[in-house]
Amino acid sequence: MAKKHRRTWIAALAVASALSLAPLVACSPSAGQPTAKGPAADAGAPAAGETTAEGPATPSTAGALRVEGSRLVSETGEPVQLRGVSTHGLAWLPQYVSQPFFDELRQDWGANVVRLALYTAESGGYCTGGDQAQLKQLVRDGVDYAAKADLYAIVDWHVLADQDPNAFIDDALAFFAEMSLDLADRSNVIYEICNEPNGATSWEQVRAYAERIIPVIRANDPDAVIVVGTPTWSQRVDEAAADPLPDPNVMYSLHFYAATHQQDLRDKLEAAVAGGLPVFVTEFGICDASGNGAIDYASADAWVALMDRLGVSYVCWNLSNKDEASALFQPGCAKASGFDEADLSAEGRWLAGVLGAPGFDAGGAGSEGEGADDGAPAPIAAPSGELSGTSGSLAWTASVANSWTEGTSPCRQYALSIRNQGDAVSSWEVKVPIGAAFSLQDGWNGEYAAEGAVLRIANAGYNGAIPAGGEVRDIGFILRF
């Protein structure tokens, strides 16, 4: 009822002051978007094919994937976006590779891909004393569990401390020869042949390595998608773009840690994709590049918004209970499956919100404030109460003016007020972390932009000025979860 009143009020306002309401921005892709049928190489097209009414593309719906232009596409050429999680090192934390947990990743988390990270060089890594037979079996099992769970699986040769993938190229040649033979019949496998070349390793060196590994895989699996890392911890997609490999089913990885890697790396991603390079974010975190430190939610949400807009696939680091910010589970959590919201770390709760995690909605996480970093909101389900925060000297409050359900989707109408605790301003912008996937249904007396799980609101043309100590009100919006 209040909703109806509100609409009447808007109409009156529009007539009275001849003001146009801010144009609505497309809803968050994680909330579900229609499938685009446009040319696969059109990087500017909305992210699509990934989230349809039936859910994200999976091996059973999209089949064997391939690369077309800058996009990953299904067997029938529909754009596909993969979104999921990476294991930590299989040698150290093998317990998360299981059928029950991979089933959960697909059904409860809403993921459509899992990455199996096989460290090459660290202590106990594949080339440095690890039990190779056991590790290969874990990879085979992981791909099998993923197939049964209807997930794509990335076999990740996790070059890190070794810096240059050529350091252990003989092991890599033997590994990929054997794995591609064993997995040749699997249509859910993606090969990632070097996680993060780093140190002084140049693109020429990575390219030379790829030119030796790719034919070995192709001998058994002519069509699988292969992802190649790029220099500087997989950030130099520009160098790959300048001299790409001739194989048409190759993608190039870009990795980011949101608190460290900001707009300049986002620009690199956008430029590479706009130039036609197929890029896959096979690893990212939302803390700093050490895998720890404070979470940067604003940067994380900006990354998600960009990747969703470009249709770029992304995989979050890492499935572990380590005491580090990039671990998806609470430190020491002893479970290996059967997770619920309380078991998730701050990054885990954020990711569940981004993926739309259907299995976590029912329990109504709503764990606002509970152990969250930086006071950031943590709910996964639709937030039920008032949201508030500050942007510089502006203190804002978004209170729930009305709530209802459309179909099975909760909707909330919010009233926003902003108090200026500093000097007079002539314009304003606030970022409201919603903490759950949403779509913006309506908004008034402001300019609205949905960025991942954050709603950015700037002043309209007529309400930018707030005197010192003053307040603006009558700003409102409707979200559907």
Give me the least distance between CB of 159 and ligand IDC, in Å please.
9
- Give the interface size with ligand IDC as a residue count (CB under 6 A): 16
Is the CB of 92 or the CB of 404 nearer to ligand IDC?
92
CB of 89 to ligand IDC, least distance (A): 6
For 124, 280, 325, 362, 392, the CA distances from 89, given in Å and listed in that order, are: 10, 20, 16, 31, 40
Single out the residue of 180, 195, 230, 445 in contact with ligand IDC (rule: CB under 6 A).
195
Residue with smaller CB distance to ligand IDC, 316 or 394: 316
CA distance 105 to 107: 6
CA atoms within 13 A on the CB side of 123: 0
Angle value at C-alpha 76, between 61 and 184, nearest 5 degrees? 70
Catalytic position from the list 68, 78, 196, 341: 196
d(CA 445, CA 309): 26
289 belongs to the binding site for ligand IDC (CB under 6 A): yes
* DSSP code per residue over 322-391: -SSTT-SB-TT---SS---GGGB-HHHHHHHHHHT-HHHHTTT---TTSS-GGG----SS---S-EEEEE
Q: Does 261 bind ligand IDC (CB under 6 A)?
A: no
CB of 218 to ligand IDC, least distance (A): 26
Q: Which is nearer to ligand IDC, 164 or 283 (CB)?
A: 283
55 binds ligand IDC (CB under 6 A): no
- Scan residues 294-313 and list those touching ligand IDC (CB under 6 A): none
Alpha-helical (H) ranges within 219-279 are: 231-234, 237-242, 263-274
Does the annotation mark 196 as catalytic? Answer: yes
Q: Bridge-partner residues for 433, per DSSP?
A: 454
- Toward ligand IDC, which CB reaches closer, 55 or 291? 291
- Contact with ligand IDC (CB under 6 A) among 68, 78, 164, 196: 196
Q: Shortest Cβ distance from residue 440 to ligand IDC (Å)?
A: 33
- Examine residue 318 and tell whether it contacts ligand IDC (CB under 6 A): yes
Residue 236 touches ligand IDC, criterion: CB under 6 A:
no
Q: Smallest gap, in angstroms, from Cβ of residue 291 to ligand IDC?
A: 3
- Cα–Cα distance, 41 to 226 (Å, whole number): 18
Q: From the candidates 239, 270, 283, 451, which is the catalytic residue?
A: 283
Closer to ligand IDC by CB, 102 or 233: give it: 233
**Diameter over CA atoms, the chain:** 76
Interface with ligand IDC (CB under 6 A), residue from 134, 137, 263, 290: 290
Provide CB contacts within 8 A for 385, sequence distance 6+.
368, 400
The span from the CA of 3 to the CA of 1, in Å, is: 5
Nearest residue to the partner ligand IDC, using Cβ: 291
233 is a site residue for ligand IDC (CB under 6 A): yes
Contacts (CB under 6 A) with ligand IDC, residues 69-128:
122
Length of the chain: 481
User: What distances in angstroms separate CA 404 from CA 62, 205, 382, 399, one per listed residue?
Assistant: 35, 58, 12, 15
Of 316-324, 380-388, 393-401, 458-466, the segment contacting ligand IDC by CB under 6 A is 316-324
Query: Within 343-402, which residues bind ligand IDC (CB under 6 A)?
Result: none
Rounded Cα gap, residues 255 and 237, in angstroms: 10
Nearest in space to 84 (alpha carbons), one of 117, 53, 130, 61: 117
Burial label, 67 (beta-carbon count in 10 A; 0-12, 13-18, 19+)? buried
> Does 324 help bind ligand IDC (rule: CB under 6 A)?
yes
Task: Look up 283 and say whether it is catalytic.
Answer: yes
Q: Residue numbers of the site for ligand IDC (CB under 6 A)?
A: 122, 160, 195-196, 233, 255, 257, 283, 289-291, 317-318, 322, 324, 326
Catalytic residues: 196, 283
